[in-house]
A = this chain, B = another copy of it.
Amino acid sequence: DAHKLLVLAGDGIGPEVMREVARIVHWMSAYRGLKLEITEELVGAASLAVHGVPIRDEVVELARQSDAVLFGSVGDPAWSHVGFDKRPEVAILKLRKELELFANLRPAKLFDALIDASALKPEVVRGLDLMIVRETVGGIYFGEPRGIETLPDGSRRGINTEVYTTSEIERVARVAFDLARKRDNRVCSVEKCNVMESGLLWKEVVTDVHKREYPDVQLSHMLADNCAMQLVRDPNQFDVIVTGNLFGDILSDLASMLTGSLGMLPSATLGPVRADGKRNALYEPIHGSAPDIAGKGIANPLAQILSFAMLLRYSLNRGEDADLIETAVSNVLASGLRTGDIMSSGMARVGTEMMGQAVLRE
């Protein structure tokens, strides 16, 4: 029986890069016996334009009932001056929250062939392979009270609340420790416990989980400001980093940029294990909707393609198919093809479609 896949291409370059995944899906259906029941829906500005909301409740329900969600990207400058609830970004925030997708796995891995694309010196970035586990349904993104209030004198106050509970911290810490065991067995927990009590609790709970359940894993702690520095100074010191929603947002984008190939990096966001033993999961590239290059046919489709490979591996248990895709991507890079974002001298510049077809050929 077929796996249920929900495809949400979203805004900007989302639909373009998703088209290249579609080619691969067709090929895998024909030659690898992949059976998918695919539903496509609008999210973000694309949904706002048609339905007046960034994501419809039916779409959230569809996502909940799918075996996996393949997400593109949301965001559109045209909607930046509309109300706070009409941000295209609400689509992804709502999916995370409603499906309880609490653990965002963001690998920052250097593709050796792309070492020249990094802003860092080769000797600093060579071999980089770290994983940031970011909590995604708690913290200041969702805490109440929040809002903007007008004071009697006409001035205003903007408020947001960072909240973390023991259980929220425990479950994301477990994801990080489990991952570390399959990697280099080291976790660095990042917070700002010297000025924030929520960070102090974070540190204590991670320490407890470690002591109780994962004494074999090496655990260290770092302040968020120091972590930003250390990621630039010597990123290879890290294996798995676990942190809250806001620090994770900033540090994972920073870590991705170290590789010089933002257009290459996939991510997975996992929910709790359900009664049927599976977990809800959403896969998306780390890059955004890139409105400046949307529609030009020059976006790099590899992050979206690699997100699909992650989906095959983690949600559909098709590791061999994932390997096929990842190897094809490596080969294409080795052959010298480059989209504009990862271009360097001596390489052949191609557009979105040619890059997608090259992967397919491999």
Interface residues of A, Cβ cutoff 8 Å to B:
75, 84, 87, 89, 93, 119-121, 124, 140-141, 143, 146-148, 151, 155-167, 192, 194-202, 205, 224-226, 228-229, 232-234, 246-247, 249-251, 253-254, 256-258, 262
Q: Is the CB of B141 within 8 A of A155?
A: no
B residues less than 8 Å from A192 (CB atoms): 246, 249
B residues less than 8 Å from A162 (CB atoms): 140, 158-162
8 smallest beta-carbon distances between A and B, as pairs: A158-B201, A158-B198, A155-B166, A229-B257, A228-B254, A225-B253, A119-B124, A160-B162
* Selected A-B contacts with CB under 8 Å, 24 pairs: A87-B194, A119-B120, A119-B121, A119-B124, A120-B120, A120-B121, A120-B232, A140-B195, A140-B196, A141-B196, A157-B163, A157-B165, A158-B165, A158-B198, A158-B200, A159-B163, A159-B197, A160-B199, A161-B161, A224-B249, A228-B253, A228-B254, A229-B254, A246-B246
Q: Is the interface of A mostly helix, strand, loop or mixed?
A: helix
Q: How far is the CA of A158 from the CA of B192 in the complex (A)?
A: 12
Residue of B nearest to A151 (CB): B165
Known interface pairs A119-B234, A121-B120, A225-B250. Does A197 touch B257 (Cβ–Cβ under 8 Å)? no
Could you tell me the distance in whole angstroms from the C-beta of A241 to the nearest C-beta in chain B? 14
Q: How far is the CA of A124 from the CA of B121 in the complex (A)?
A: 10
Q: Is the CB of A156 within 8 A of B201?
A: yes
Q: Is the CB of B163 within 8 A of A195?
A: no
